[in-house]
Amino acid sequence: MNDLIDVSREAELSKKDFKKFQELIHSITGIWMGESKQTLVQSRLAKRLRALRIGSYSEYYDYVSTPQGMRDEQEEFVNCVTTNKTDFFRESHHFDFLREQLFPKLREHAAQTGEQKIRIWSAACSTGAEPYTLAMTIREYFGSALGWDIRILASDIDTSVLRTASTGIYREDQMSGVNAEMRRKYFRKVKKDGEVQWEVVENLKDLITFRRLNFSEPTWSINAKFDVIMCRNVMIYFNQETQRQLVGRFCQYLHPEAHLIIGHSESLIGVSDDFQSIGNTIYRLKEGVVKRTAKPTVPKPQAQQSVTSAPKPKKTPSAEEKRRAMKAATPPPSRNNRPALVGPTSSRAGGDGLPTSQIIVGEFKASATPMRISTLVGSCIAACIYDEVNQVGGMNHFMLPESHGEVCARFGVHAMELLINSIMQLGGDRRRLKAKFFGGARVVAGGAGVWTVGERNAKFAEDFLNTEGIPIVAKHVGGERGMKIQFISHLGKAFVTPIERSDAESDAVQRQIAPPVSIVEQVPEVSTVELF
Catalytic residues: 44, 156
Q: First and final CA of the chain: distance in angstroms?
A: 40
Whole-angstrom distance, CA of residue 435 vs CA of residue 452: 23
Whole-angstrom distance, CA of residue 166 vs CA of residue 156: 12
Q: CA nearest 129: which of 79, 168, 179?
A: 168
Strands of 74-203, DSSP E: 117-123, 149-156, 169-170, 187-192, 195-200
Q: CA nearest 370: which of 388, 383, 382?
A: 388
Tell the burial category of 329 from Cβ atoms under 10 Å away from its Cβ (0-12, 13-18, 19+). middle
Q: CA nearest 371: which of 348, 387, 394, 342?
A: 394
Whole-angstrom distance, CA of residue 326 vs CA of residue 320: 10
Whole-angstrom distance, CA of residue 185 vs CA of residue 183: 6
Tell the burial category of 31 from Cβ atoms under 10 Å away from its Cβ (0-12, 13-18, 19+). buried
Q: Report helix, strand or coil for 290.
A: helix
For 349, residues 6+ apart whose C-beta sits below 8 A from its C-beta are 339, 372, 486, 488, 495
Are 366 and 416 a contacting pair, CB within 8 Å?
no
Are 468 and 421 a contacting pair, CB within 8 Å?
no
Whole-angstrom distance, CA of residue 110 vs CA of residue 177: 32
Buried residues in 472-490 as b, exposed as e (16+ CB within 10 A): ebbbbbeeebbbbbbbbbb
Whole-angstrom distance, CA of residue 150 vs CA of residue 135: 9
Whole-angstrom distance, CA of residue 495 vs CA of residue 20: 49
Q: CA nearest 21: which of 54, 59, 53?
A: 59
Name the β-bridge partners of 496.
485
